[in-house]
Structure 1
Amino acid sequence: MKKYDNTAGLILAGGRAQRMGGQDKGLLQLNGHAMIEYVIAGLNRQVCALTINANRNIHAYQQFGYPVIADQLADFQGPLAGIVSAMQDCQHEYMVIAPCDGPFIRHDYVARLHAARARTGSNISVAHDGQRLQPVYTLLASSLCPSLLAYLATGNRKIDLWYQQEGYCVADFADATELFVNINTPQELATASKKIGPINVD
């Protein structure tokens, strides 16, 4: 597993989780651990810094030992609001993103995104599951922060549209679709508890 000294990680935990009855998904218990702990364990061995984006239960998220940044835009305006808030504080060349409700982070997640970026020279590398893009599984150049601020200032919030405007490359994860299993319902949480392996949160 390669650790990238030029890449920070961002875990998105700032949504309303309406399909989960408003419960904070990152804090839901999955086999004795908060779900976000699986994402932390998967990412922190691949990046040189890690930040959590959250808009509720800030103190609870701080207990995991990483900086917590809230959206600067009010009223839960989507993943780009969390991304731009973290990007403004990012001290590294790249930022890799994953959602708090995607606990199946692979050991080569960051490497695959970087490989696609290196092949194409793109500033945005987006995971693709073989059927469609997975827009919150992505690698961004931190230098895009002014562009994203300008895009949000127009009132746009659609992440796919911003990617299209900037240009992006695709990272192929067609052989690793388990990465994109998001937990949105109690039933999906129960299913994930049977499939997920042990966690090392040290």
Structure 2
Amino acid sequence: MIPRDELTGLVLAGGRGRRMGGCDKGLVAFDGRPLAGYAAGVLRDHVKELVIVANRHCAAYAELADRVVADVEPDYRGPLMGLYSGLQAARGAWLVMVPCDVPGLPSSLVARLVDQRGTADVVVAHDGTRPHPVVALVRVDLADDLAACLARGERKLDTWQARHRRVWADFSDCPAAFTNLNTRDERLDLERRRGKES
């Protein structure tokens, strides 16, 4: 087990949102709440501190988190840089990260990642068909290794994770929970589907 005091929650919200027209995706309304609010809600009760990585509208994100930090390096360098920025900000031994655009993540997410860790340094959610590298539990002391990889030009989260002891956490019972919303049409479609289910 990992004590809650050793867990930092991280919501990645630092992207350009190009496929959603360049808007700040984490603040886009979904069923009346900002998308990042769902991600924050999944983490908040299971971590000591909740951090959001954001490169725009930091005051708005501050209402959803304990701290907001920008990417360590500018120019929107992707989720690997977002993870590194979160690792730099973390105050415990472990960090659990999620993207800002997946509103259906299960409330049991953190507990399940922790429970399936074993002796791994990186635990990645797997929906039974494919892994989701942006939904992961990561040892904070891997920050220096990640910095070295970034300096060498690495940009792929999955490639960096594969360098370490990694396991897949089984979420095959809820694959739809990992549906991410990249476009306005995807957002509207999921809102409609959720409305029919309620």
Given the two structures, how large is their TM-score scaled by the length of structure 2?
A: 0.92
Moved runs in structure 1, 4+ residues, more than 3 A? 194-197
Any idea what SS the aligned residue of 1:165 has? coil
What is the TM-score with the length of structure 1 in the denominator? 0.90
Deviation (angstroms), 1:35: 1.3
Instruction: Report the alpha carbon displacement of residue 123 of structure 1 after superposing the two structures with TM.
Output: 0.5
Alignment partners' CA distance in 2, 1:91 and 1:155: 27
Q: Percent identity?
A: 39
Alignment correspondent of 2:18 = 18
2:40/2:65 contact within 8 Å kept: no
Matched residue, 1:200? none
Q: Distance in 1 between matches of 2:84 and 2:15?
A: 15
1:9-60: per-residue Cα shift (whole Å, max 9, x none)? 0000011111111111111111221111111112101212100001111222
Where does residue 174 of structure 1 map in the other structure? 172
Instruction: Give the corresponding residue for 1:191.
Output: 189
Superposed displacement of residue 115, structure 1: 1.6
1:44 aligns with: 44
Alpha-carbon distance between aligned partners in 2 of 1:163 and 1:116, rounded to the nearest angstrom: 16
Deviation at 1:169? 0.7
Match of 1:144 in 2: 142
Within a 5 Å distance, the mapping from 1:52-201 to structure 2 comes to: 52-118=52-118, 121-196=119-194
Unaligned runs of 5+ residues in structure 1 are 198-202
The one-letter code of the counterpart of 2:124 is V
CA RMSD of superposed structures (Å): 1.7
CA separation of 1:7 and 1:65: change in aligned 2, threshold 3 A = closer
Preserved contact between residue 8 and residue 94 of structure 1 (Cα < 8 Å): yes
Give 3-state SS (helix, strand or coil) of 1:5's partner.
helix
Q: Following the alignment from structure 1 to structure 2, what is the Cα–Cα distance between the partners of residues 77 and 160?
A: 15
Which residue matches 1:9? 9
List runs of 5+ in structure 2 lacking aligned partners.
none
Separation in 2, partners of 1:132, 1:65: 29
TM-aligned CA distance change 1:30 to 1:194, over 3 Å: same
Number of corresponding residues: 194
